[in-house]
Structure 1
Amino acid sequence: MSDRSQQLAAAYAHCASIAAQHGKSYHLATRLLTPDRRPAVHALYAAARTADDLVDLPGADPAGDLAAWSRAVLTDLEAGWSDDPVRLALVHTYRRHDIPVEHLVDFLAAMTSDLTVDSYADMAALDRYMWGSAAVIGLQVLPVLGTAPGVQRKEAEPYAIALGEAFQLTNFLRDVAEDVDRGRVYLPADVMAAHGVTRDQLAQRRHDARFEGLMREMVAVVRRRYDDAAPGTTLLAPESRACVRAATDLYGGILTEIERTGYRVLDGRVRVSRPRRLAVFARRLTAAQLARVRVTMANPKSRSSTGA
């Protein structure tokens, strides 16, 4: 193995460790992917996490740090190589899967806006922000997952966008308390006002019937976004569907946990338990294995690059 091959392998392994540490549900779902697809998803997650941390866990100059990282990753993408492990894996993933650079530019713009924008007037404004923070994530992942025979990528894109937004909105509802501590609110201001909920109430962690009503409405909004995304799963490559269904089950499970706790997200982060995560994985594992067997039988040459 050449020095560059070793460096690339180490870069992907580094990204996998980031995904395992910070995105337990996502990382577990990726175990259902074929081995040749898995590293690219880890790279996309690690890059998004790195940029997000520059904003959420800032140093002395968050704007300067994010701008420097953004310039570096775009320069690396043009050059086709990087000495930074996360950027190297991202560059390789973008080039291998022919992902449009515009998706990365839009994501970085959304991260930059988090440095100055701390609230959103309505759902339309939040959706505009989520184009860069969530929709393009779905569009980045789509080429890695692949589409079913005869399905063009464009056909699956609206559903990838909707699922990216559903995952992001789930995070917003789970992380209300953490986000307000960082000076940001991702609940639409007009919906908050309609329920009589103020920013100060969120900051003071005051759970009451008004906040519960707000959360109930927002959970319904997010569930509709999952419903919008659902038909897209059958457009994906058969061997990628179990992963997406598992990720949807796990993130949808966060909404169920929010409801089960009486919408008390101001008291602490709501989580899907490890036994529940493992149960979802086990339920989807057989489907993933069967899909791989069927694809291999239909085309014996379609084996992963690892031989798995």
Structure 2
Amino acid sequence: MSRGARLELLAADITDPEVQAGYQQARMLNAQYGKTYYLATLLLPREKRPYVHALYGFARYADNIVDDLDPGLTTAERASRFGAWTDAFLADLSRGSSADPLCRAVLDAIARWQIPPELFVDFLNSMRMDLVVTGFPTYQDLAEYMWGSAAVIGLQMLPILGRNDSAGSEEALRQPAIDLGMAFQLTNFLRDIAEDLDRGRIYLPRETLDRFGVDRSDLHEARRSGTATAPIRDVIAFEVARARQLYRSAEPGIAMVHRTSQDCLRTAWTLYAGILDEIEAVDLNVFSGRVSVGLGRRARVAGGGLLHAWWTRRFS
């Protein structure tokens, strides 16, 4: 375990070695898979970081089971594996303890921050959908999926981020948290259209595809050729605009969380919204390669956030 990880756990008063092991596993998952989220998490006070790692690590672990592309595994086998893991976690959730290190850390975070357990049930239900659902007729159908896959994660985070004294009621924070989770998720969908096609899934609403005269075969051809046609670019532009509206709706929530959490949230908001800029920079052709925010921009945004976060913690 690194010195940084040890300091975070000590600051959070997580001293049980078995519980620490679960938090360490979650931290490694966040560092490996959630580079933007991980950078943003580092802007939180040390005592809050392990809990955010736990939430991300849990979500990533579940997603990895569903998305396992091992050619030796059938969909039924993945579903069986996910079902067994889910049933075990829900039993642990009810009992309040777990033999699984990662689940042990998540249960500890739930207990410490009084996170509503039903948010995890909704998340797992959406993950289960990925095993059987390959498309969504309308945006409303997609939004119902994103409630469990993304919006609930924003709500899970709220107790940890805390509330600014001037923010008003806790209820006022709910909608910005929901919108930001959905903005992140929709951004992922747009960036990962090609990869999701390889998994047999399309997270673009059928009604949007129909609006611009695009069908599933057109997307597969774009995947093969690495080139998006004009109608496909129109589809992506339409959904980029929808995602930007979600970011605008979510932005007022940044000032509502506790001062020591605002730099984390602002950095995640800025870098993830920046993925949309990168999609537009390649003329909406997400089939030519995986777009990402450049290292230089990530360093500038995170570096500025780190300095401001230090100043806030030091003098607030």
Q: Within 5 Å, give how 1:57-206 maps onto structure 2.
A: 57=68, 59-60=73-74, 61-149=77-165, 151-204=168-221, 205=223, 206=227
Q: For 1:172 and 1:196, how far apart are their aligned partners in 2?
A: 20
- 2:251 paired residue among 220, 224, 230: 230
Task: Name the residue aligned to 2:36.
Answer: 25
Task: Name the residue aligned to 1:299.
Answer: none
How far does the alpha carbon of each residue in 1:194-243 deviate from its partner, in whole angstroms, 9 at most, with x for none? 11111112122241111111111111110000000011111100000000
Q: For 1:72 and 1:254, how far apart are their aligned partners in 2?
A: 36
Q: For 1:7 and 1:79, how far apart are their aligned partners in 2?
A: 17
- Deviation for aligned residue 1:78: 2.5
Q: For 2:252 and 2:15, how far apart are their aligned partners in 1?
A: 41
**Secondary structure of the structure 2 residue equivalent to 1:267:** coil
How many residue pairs align between the two structures?
A: 294
- 1:51 paired residue among 52, 59, 62: 62
Identical pairs, percent = 43
- Deviation for aligned residue 1:259: 0.4
How far does the alpha carbon of each residue in 1:37-83 deviate from its partner, in whole angstroms, 9 at most, with x for none? 11111111111011111111154411111111111112222332222
**Secondary structure of the structure 1 residue equivalent to 2:287:** helix
Code of the residue aligned with 1:192 in structure 2: it is L
**Secondary structure of the structure 1 residue equivalent to 2:16:** helix
Q: For 2:305 and 2:15, how far apart are their aligned partners in 1?
A: 36
Q: Is the 1:257–1:272 Cα contact (8 Å) retained in structure 2? A: yes
TM-score if structure 1 supplies the norm length?
0.92
Code of the residue aligned with 1:45 in structure 2: it is Y
Q: Is the 1:202–1:266 Cα contact (8 Å) retained in structure 2? A: no
CA-atom RMSD, angstroms?
A: 1.6
Task: Name the residue aligned to 2:290.
Answer: 269
Task: Name the residue aligned to 2:3.
Answer: none
Q: For 1:238 and 1:79, how far apart are their aligned partners in 2?
A: 35
Are 1:282 and 2:285 counterparts?
Answer: no
Q: For 1:10 and 1:247, how far apart are their aligned partners in 2?
A: 26
Code of the residue aligned with 1:230 in structure 2: it is E
**Secondary structure of the structure 1 residue equivalent to 2:51:** helix
- 1:259 paired residue among 274, 277, 280: 280
- Deviation for aligned residue 1:4: 7.4
Q: For 2:172 and 2:287, how far apart are their aligned partners in 1?
A: 39
Q: Which runs of 5+ in 2 are unaligned?
A: 1-9
Q: Is the 1:143–1:153 Cα contact (8 Å) retained in structure 2? A: no
Displacement over 3 Å in runs of 4+:
none
- Deviation for aligned residue 1:125: 1.0
- 1:211 paired residue among 232, 247, 254: 232
**The 10-residue stretch of structure 1 (75-84 or 111-120) with the greater mean CA deviation from structure 2:** 75-84
- 1:15 paired residue among 26, 32, 35: 26
Q: For 1:231 and 1:172, how far apart are their aligned partners in 2?
A: 24
How far does the alpha carbon of each residue in 1:98-128 deviate from its partner, in whole angstroms, 9 at most, with x for none? 0111100000000111111111111111111
Q: For 1:9 and 1:224, how far apart are their aligned partners in 2?
A: 39
Code of the residue aligned with 1:270 in structure 2: it is V
TM-score if structure 2 supplies the norm length?
0.90
Q: Which runs of 5+ in 1 are unaligned?
A: 296-308
Code of the residue aligned with 2:268 in structure 1: it is A
Task: Name the residue aligned to 2:314.
Answer: 293
Q: For 2:295 and 2:133, how far apart are their aligned partners in 1?
A: 35
